[in-house]
Structure 1
Amino acid sequence: MKTLLLPIILLLFSFTALEDFYQKQLSFPRVQHALHEKGAYVKQLLISGNINPEKFDIFLRAFKKEKTLEVWAKNKGNASFIHLKDYDFCESSGKPGPKRRSGDLQTPEGFYKIDAFNPTSEFYLSFRVNYPNQSDLKFADSENPGGDIYIHGKCVTVGCIPLGDDAIMELYLLVIKAKAGGQDIPVHIFPAKLSDQNFASLKNEYAGQPQLTEFWSWLKPGHDFFEKYHRIPEIVIDQKGRYLVKNSR
């Protein structure tokens, strides 16, 4: 009996913690303001894509060259995502290529998740991606790889992704609701849209930097998997720090 009760208790505790997270977020003035200004729009945006506004998952894909953040969503239980909306970066820094040390002004490239939410951010509202991940740590400066990479409001950056206050209000409402539904929200960041043509252009432009083009070759399978199936690839990191797609379809 105890063996049966323990998973149930843990599940109830998890649901309670997630609901507490959402209610705590709504207690902050900026989140309240976002809900007042953008709540109805965000709900209608989801409904227009046949997404249940109370139970959904979110997926974010950022493309540095295009300065675009794609937002995808799906109903809980569905396999495939639908394209919900794009947001433009309102500022950028650095150049194509991954982040490797603190202060290099680079926006990371790779496969990440949201690991923190800041409703009192210096940049209005923000949420953090989990850079450095295990791949980054294989190649980044061992003493100071950098960190605190956020997607946020305002229009300033030294490596983060700024969208402006209007956009971040919408996106923040989406991500906190998805988080409250139990999702670990993935964020994939690429140097550019990695179509075969774009990838060939990148390899040609950066032919003198083979380590960089090799790194991008690790990102392309994950990029292409989502392009083909509209499902999030299962990414693993091998002992050398390379990204590999575990699922074949």
Structure 2
Amino acid sequence: MKIPTHILAPLMLTLFLAACQGSSIDDLSPNGAGTQLPDKLVKSMKAKGMSTTSPVMFRIFKEENVLEVWKRKDNGRYDMVTSYQICKWSGKLGPKFIEGDRQAPEGFYAVRPAQMNPKSSYYLSFNTGFPNALDRTLGRTGANLMVHGACSSSGCYSMTDGQVAQIYAFARDAFKGGQESIQLEAFPFRMTAANMARYRDDPNYAFWKNLKEGYDHFEITKVPPKVDVCEKKYVFNHTSDPNAPIAATSACPPADQPESLKMAYQSYQSSYETAFSSMVGKGRIQPPSRSIQGLTEAKIIADWSARRARGERVTQEPPSLSPQDKDAASKPQVMVRLASAVAADKAKEEREASKRSRMTRMTASAAPMSIPTTTPAPAVQQPASAPQTTAALTSGAPAAAAEQPAPAKKAWWKIIGN
């Protein structure tokens, strides 16, 4: 088919300009995948000894609603270039446990070129890499957890379109410079002594202490740590050999770290422990934010998500076990009661359905009354307490005998429609 000249000419001009400017066809894709970084940012990077194609890393802090962009300088250490306020992230503080719990993940992830999506329905996006080796070892499930635009989230980190265009550009340019994977670190909060003291009683505290080890390694070295998984936990800079085999479920091999790093980490930890103890003594100045209360709550929320997806009437917000939730905090043993309520509600629905089915079968199988040809004798009046017969149920008067059972009351979390 011959393409008309008035269509072919602009297309050829566009391709020519792209070639002249060193761009590619990918840069012409929709959603701003070819957006260039602002001159102000480029000048700031150059002043710090960075280039647009030097390696990059991202750090996310949920409680502070911040995504930070760090790039490698000429001396090999990283420095922060800029940061963005996260428009919306899903769930509460704490890791993602199972599909449907609406949790944005926490942990150490690797973003590779294949995870970049220039044609995302959410303007632009890249996959976080969840689940990673630790998530899989712990049985955590979920898929398509993204950093994306459109300011809408259900398990993701969502930015404005303008923000994600720049974040996408940082990653795209680093890949062009030869970086094979970008480290994405997602934390519940800045892991300072004050914040760790605030959350010392949280059910996620053990997991957060493990995350803090990687956080500390970066604070000390200003280089993204080498991340491995063994004994069902993260280990950081554990070996100097990048190809050393470490199995996620096996015992961790002997640590092989430079003596300078060991000493720096010990010194850092000593200062931290002193600060942590002093913060515990002062009490909590700032109350902790809501956090997911483990797998029990994750399962309840996942059930709520499934019901909502089926079109059932559920509460506008998912049920919560967080002690900061006033409704949950006012109910004793709320974790047990909510979990049992989910099962009880399903059982009640099944009983009602079975009862209606039995009533239908009984009505359908009853023999029809024959119409008498002569005037019947006066019926003997039954006592008021006598039970009704099958004939009475199928006689002309439907009366109360054929009445269906009253509908069951809705469970408390299904009253409000969404």
In the superposition, the TM-score normalised over structure 2's length comes to 0.49
Q: Give secondary structure in 2 for the equivalent of 1:223.
A: helix
Q: Corresponding residue for 1:26?
A: 27
For the 8 Å contact 1:42–1:174, the answer to whether it is kept is no
Cα distance in structure 2, aligned partners of 1:164 and 1:170: 10
1:84 pairs with one of 81, 84, 94: 81
Q: Following the alignment from structure 1 to structure 2, what is the Cα–Cα distance between the partners of residues 106 and 97?
A: 8
8 Å CA contact retained: 1:131, 1:147 = yes
Query: CA separation in 2, counterparts of 1:100 and 1:162?
Result: 20
1:2-17 equivalence runs, <5 A: none
Equivalent residue, structure 2, for 1:246: 237
SS in 1 for 2:26: helix
- Greater shift, 41-50 or 59-68, is seen at 41-50
Higher strand share: 1
Q: CA deviation at 1:32?
A: 5.7
1:48 is displaced (CA, Å) by: 3.7
In structure 1, give the amino acid aligned to 2:228: V
Structure 2 counterpart of 1:235, one-letter code: V
Question: Retained in 1: the 8 A contact 2:109–2:184?
Answer: yes
* Contact 1:42 1:170 (C-alpha < 8 Å) held by counterparts: no
Matching residue of 1:237 = 229
Confirm or deny that 1:104 pairs with 2:101: yes
SS at match of 2:211: helix
Given that 1:73 and 1:83 are in contact with CA atoms closer than 8 Å, whether structure 2 keeps it comes out as yes
SS in 1 for 2:49: coil
CA contact (8 A) 1:92 1:159 kept: yes
Flag structure 1 segments of 5+ consecutive residues without an equivalent: 1-21
Q: 1:62 to 1:153 in 2, by over 3 A?
A: same
Q: Give the aligned residue type for 2:225.
A: P
Deviation of the 1:47 alpha carbon: 2.1
Q: Which amino acid aligns with 1:156?
A: S
Q: Which residue of 2 aligns with 1:11?
A: none
Residue 43 of structure 2 corresponds to 44
- Measured after TM superposition, the shift of residue 203 of structure 1 is 1.2
The SS at the match of 1:197 is helix
Unpaired segments ≥5 residues, structure 2: 1-22, 239-256, 262-418
The equivalent residue for 2:152 is: 156
Partner SS state of residue 140, structure 1: coil
> In the TM superposition, what is the alpha-carbon distance from 1:39 to its structure 2 partner?
4.8
Which amino acid is 2:67 matched to?
L
Q: What's 1:138 paired with?
A: 137
User: 8 Å contact 2:33–2:169 — kept in the other structure?
Assistant: no
Q: 1:28 to 1:45 in 2, by over 3 A?
A: farther
Relative contact order, CA 8 A, sep 6+: which one is greater?
1
Q: Deviations over 1:58-116 (max 9, x none)?
A: 010101111111110014x6421011111111112211111111111101111001131
Displacement after TM superposition at 1:243 (Å):
0.4
- Give how far 1:213 is off: 1.3
Structure 1 residue 182 and structure 2 residue 182: aligned?
no
Q: Go from structure 1 to structure 2 and tell me whether the alpha carbon gap of 1:32 and 1:130 turns closer, same or farther (over 3 Å shift).
A: closer
Structure 1 moving runs of 4+ over 4 Å = none
| Aligned partner of residue 209 in structure 2, secondary structure | helix
Structure 2 CA distance for aligned equivalents of residues 56 and 47 of structure 1: 11
Query: How many Å separate the matches in 2 of 1:213 and 1:32?
Result: 39
Q: Across the two proteins, how many residue pairs are aligned to each other? A: 215
Cα distance between partner residues in 2 of 1:177 and 1:25: 13
2:191–2:215 contact (8 Å) kept in structure 1: yes
Query: Would the aligned equivalents of 2:86 and 2:157 in 1 still touch at CA under 8 Å?
Result: yes
* Partner Cα distance (1:42, 1:169) in 2: 14
Inter-partner Cα distance in structure 2 for 1:27 and 1:219: 39
The residue identity in structure 2 corresponding to 1:194 is M
Query: Once the two structures are superposed, what CA deviation does each residue of 1:143-199 show, in whole Å capped at 9, x if it has no partner?
Result: xx1111111111110111111011111111110010122211100001111112211
| Residues 213 and 48 (structure 1), Cα distance of their counterparts in 2 relative to 1, 3 Å cut | same
Deviation, structure 1 residue 219: 0.6
**SS of equivalent to 1:173:** helix
| Conservation of the 8 A alpha-carbon contact between 1:117 and 1:127 | yes
One-letter amino acid of the counterpart of residue 186, structure 1 = Q
Question: Which runs of structure 2 are paired with 1:179-218 in the superposition (5 Å)?
Answer: 179-183=175-179, 184-204=181-201, 206=202, 209=203, 212-218=204-210
- Tell me the distance in 1 between the aligned counterparts of 2:227 and 2:171: 21
What's the TM-score, normalizing by structure 1?
0.80
